[in-house]
Amino acid sequence: MAAGTRDSLVQTAENLMRTRGYTSFSYADLAEAVGIRKASIHHHFPTKEDLGAAIVEDYIGRVRAEFDRVEVQHWHVIGRLEAFLQIFRSSADGGLLPLCGALAAEMSALPPSLQQLTHRFFDLQLAWLTRVLDQGIKLKEIPEGSGARQKAFLLLSILEGSSFINWATKEEDPVSPSVIRLIVEHA
């Protein structure tokens, strides 16, 4: 039961972070959503910072696993980038902001450990995208243009930004896969 409770706390708190923000939910909110007492949360996570770190570290692990899956299932750069776009779409389809973006929006209010994890999370995504794009450039699948790092930054910026615009406007399909071709071919 303890592992199930911990998992439920992490999952529920992640949803609260991705819908309300880190600073806008309390242990009382979490206790009510999970159906336990606040003291039980403190047993698993003595501080909210501990809970936030567990959420981000768990999410980073899931994203790494997704990247591995994408690399196994897609051999070409465009397929990999379209799969990356689908990760963002799944957040929007679930009514959630991307965790990294939700945290970045509150960066100055986050404890230092969560600021570092948020930075690490962005670095992970940019490094993966840069590597994928660099491979595409080396294999002549895409033109070099402004370079892999700049293309990675543009793509992540567009996807993160469109997630926030979608969140605010409740648009249903804000970014088309054609944005990938636009970036890789013209940036």
Question: What is the model's pLDDT at position 94?
Answer: 76
d(CA 165, CA 187): 22
pTM: 0.89
pLDDT tens-digit readout, 27-43: 999 999 999 999 899 99
The whole-number pLDDT of residue 173 equals 64
Scan for tokens 């990356």, then name that residue. Answer: 84
> What is the set of domains in the chain, with CATH numbers?
48-186 (1.10.357.10)
Does the pLDDT of residue 186 top 90, yes or no?
A: no
For the chain, first and last CA: distance in Å? 51
- DSSP-based helix, strand, coil % in the chain, nearest 5: 80, 0, 20
Cβ neighbors of 83 (< 8 A, separation 6 or more) are: 70, 73, 74
1: pLDDT strictly greater than 50: no
Report pLDDT digits (tens) over 39-83.
899 999 999 999 999 999 999 999 999 999 999 999 999 999 999
- Cα distance between residue 134 and residue 149, in whole Å: 8
